[in-house]
Amino acid sequence: MEEPLESHVLILPFPAQGHIKPMLCLAKLLATSGLRVTFLNTHNNHRRVLPHNPCSPPSPLLRFESISDGLPDDHPRSLERIEELVLSIKMAMKAHLREFLLRECVQLPVTCVIADGIMSIGIDVAEELSVPAISFRTYSACCLWTYFCIPTFIHEGKLPFPDDDLDKEFHGLRGAEGLLRRRDLPSLCRSQIDSNLFRYFIDETIAMTQACALILNTFDALEAPMLSHLATIFSDVYSIGPLHALAIQSKGGHSSGRSESVSSLWIEDRSCMAWLDSQASRSVIYVSFGSLVKITVDQCMEFWHGLVNCGRPFLWVLREDAILGEKEDNVKLLLLELKVTSETQCLVDWAPQEEVLAHPAVGGFLTHSGWNSTLESIAAGIPMICWPRIADQQINSWCVSEVWKIGLDMKDTCDRSTIETLVRILTEDKKEEIMKSMARISALGSDSVGPEGSSSKNLERLIENIRKIGRTS
C-alpha cells in the first residue's frame, strides 16, 4: 500500500497587488498550520515583492517561486494594457505553469492547487495533472454572485444597457431587489459585451465552477445572502475573512506593529506614521485609491481643493504613476508641488495601510472601494467615502453606503464641493449614525476571526480538507 502524500499546496495569484496580498496572507496561515505551501508569483512581481519581505519566509514550510507571465521585462503591466496581460496569461503563462508543476511533482508532488478566481489556467493545468483545484476569488461574495448572473442579464436583454441612464433602477439581481441602480453594478457591465476583456472575465467566472471548492475573503455575517446563492453553485464555500485580521488572531491577537501580510509591490513611506502621531484623535482623513487606479490632473486638483476646504488634516497616498495624460516632467513637478508635508497635509507615494487605518488619529477613509481596503476599513472601524473606478469597486461602494450603512458613495462624481460636503457629512452631520453601523459591522468582523468565529472555523475546515486530499492522493 502506497504511503499518503505529504500535503503540498501551490497558490497561484493573479499578478496584481490586490490579489497577491490576500492570497499571500492565506499562504502564511496554511504554512503556520503545518501545510507545505509554494507561493507562485510572476517573475516581474517576485522581483518587486521580495525586497519588501523579510530575508527568510515567515515559516520554513512556505517558499516563494516564480514563472514568466510571457511579457517582456519592460512591459508596464498597467491597467491601460491589461488586455495584453490577460492574453499572455492564457497563452504563454499557462505553458510555463505546466512546466513548473511537472518539475515540482518530481521533487515534492503538489497535492492541491489554490488558483485565483481569474487564473483558470491553474484549474486547467491541475486537471491535466489530476491534482484537485480550489478557486479563491479575491472579490466580495456580492460581486462574484453578480458576475455569475451577467450571462442571465444578457439573455434577458438587461445588458448591454439600452440607454445611457445609469441612475435607472436595475432589477434581477437576487438579494438586491429594488436597491440597485445601473451605475452600482461592477464596471464590467458598462463594457462592450463583445470585447475580449468582457469575455475573459465571464469565461474565468464560469471556469471557477470546475474547482472542487471556493474560498472568499469575507465573513458570514457580512454577506450571508450572497454566500447562500454561491452555495448553490459550489459544494464547498469557505468564507475566511477578513484574512489580515485572521492573521493577527493566529498570532494570539497581537500585531507586530507592521502589516501582517507584507506583500507590497510599492515601497512604504513610514514617515506618515510620525505625522499621524502629531494629529488629534479621529481628526485625519486618509485618502488612497489603491495600487492600480489613475486620475487626471483635473481630478487630482478637485480632490486637493475639496480636502483643503473641508478644514481637516489629511494623509493622501498619491503614487508617482497615478496621474494620467501628462508628460513625466509635468507629473514630477505637480507631485513635488503637492507633496510638501505640513501640520495639516501629508502626501506619500505609498503607506502601510493597515497601520494607518488602525491609528487613533484617523477618522475617515476616502477610498476607491477595493475589497482589501473595504475589509481593512471595517476591521479598523473607520467609516468610508467611496470613489470607485473599476471591477468590483462599484458594487462594493453600494454595499458600503446602502446595505451596511458604514459610509457614503460618490461614484461617478469628482468635484471639490461634493468632496467637501461628504467629508463634513461623514465626520459631523451623520457621524453618530454611521459610526453606530460601523461599530456593529466591525464587531461582527472581529467575532468572525475569534477562536470560535465563523471564519476561524471555516479556515480549520479548509485545512482539514486539504489534508484529506493529501491522504487520498
Per-residue pLDDT tens over the stretch 136-180: 999 999 999 999 999 999 999 999 999 999 999 999 898 887 689
The larger pLDDT score, comparing residue 332 to residue 224, is at 224
Least confident of 57-66, 183-192, 401-410: 57-66
DSSP reduced 3-state for 346 = strand
Secondary structure (DSSP) of 75-112: ----GGGHHHHHHHIIIIIHHHHHHHHHHHHHHS---E
Q: Of residues 298 and 106, which shows the higher confidence score?
A: 298
Which residue, among 147, 204, 202, 186, has the nearest Cα to 12 in the 3D structure? 204
Nearest CA among 106, 99, 108, 107 for reference residue 128: 99
Torsion of CA 155, 161, 162, 163, to 10 degrees: 180
Q: Identify the active-site residue in 116, 220, 392, 409.
A: 116
Lowest mean pLDDT among 78-92, 150-164, 219-233, 380-394: 78-92
Residues 6+ apart with CB under 8 A from 199: none
Q: Enumerate the H helices of 208-278 as residue ranges.
A: 220-230, 243-250, 271-277
| Domain 8-241+450-472 in CATH 3.40.50.2000 | yes
Q: Please tell me the least confidently modeled range out of 255-269, 272-286, 408-422, 434-448.
A: 255-269
For residue 347, the 8-state DSSP code is: E
Residue 75: its pLDDT value, please?
87
Burial of 2 (0-12, 13-18, 19+ CB in 10 A): exposed
Using an 8 Å Cβ cutoff, are 29 and 58 in contact? Answer: no
- Among 47-51, 69-73, 388-392, 430-434, where is mean pLDDT lowest? 47-51
pLDDT of residue 330 exceeding 80, the answer is no
The dihedral formed by the CA atoms of 57, 63, 68 and 72, expressed in degrees to the nearest 10: 10
Half-sphere exposure of 409 (CA within 13 A, CB side): 21
Once rounded to an integer, what is the mean pLDDT over residues 386-410? 96
Provide the total of helices (H) and of strands (E) in the chain, helices listed first.
18, 13
With cut-offs at 50, 70 and 90, classify the pLDDT of residue 103: confident
What DSSP letter does each residue of 350-383 carry, written as one string? ---HHHHHHSTTEEEEEE---HHHHHHHHHHT--
Q: Identify the pLDDT of residue 369.
A: 97
Q: At what angle do helices 454-472 and 243-250 cross, to 10 degrees?
A: 80
Q: 360 preceded by cis ω (within 30°)?
A: no
Three-state secondary structure readout of 283-306:
CEEEEECCCCCCECHHHHHHHHHH
Active-site annotation holds for 19: yes
Indicate the domain borders of the chain: 8-241+450-472, 271-446
Q: Which residues pair with 114 in a beta bridge?
A: 11, 134
Query: CATH topology of 8-241+450-472 equal to that of 271-446?
Result: yes
Q: Which helix (H) or strand (E) holds 67?
A: strand 62-67
ω into residue 57 within 30 of 0, thus cis?
no
Handedness of CA 217, 357, 354, 317 (dihedral sign): positive
Mean pLDDT of the chain: 89
Sign of the torsion formed by the C-alpha atoms of 158, 141, 430 and 295? negative
Residue 13: burial class (beta carbons within 10 Å; 0-12, 13-18, 19+): buried
Q: How many CA atoms lie within 13 A of 467 on its CB side?
A: 11
Dihedral sign (CA 432, 433, 434, 438): positive
CA pair distance 378, 445, nearest whole angstrom: 7
| CATH classification code of 271-446 | 3.40.50.2000
Choosing from 19, 96, 229, 359, the catalytic residue is: 19
- For the ranges 178-182, 184-188, 370-374, the lowest mean pLDDT is seen at 178-182
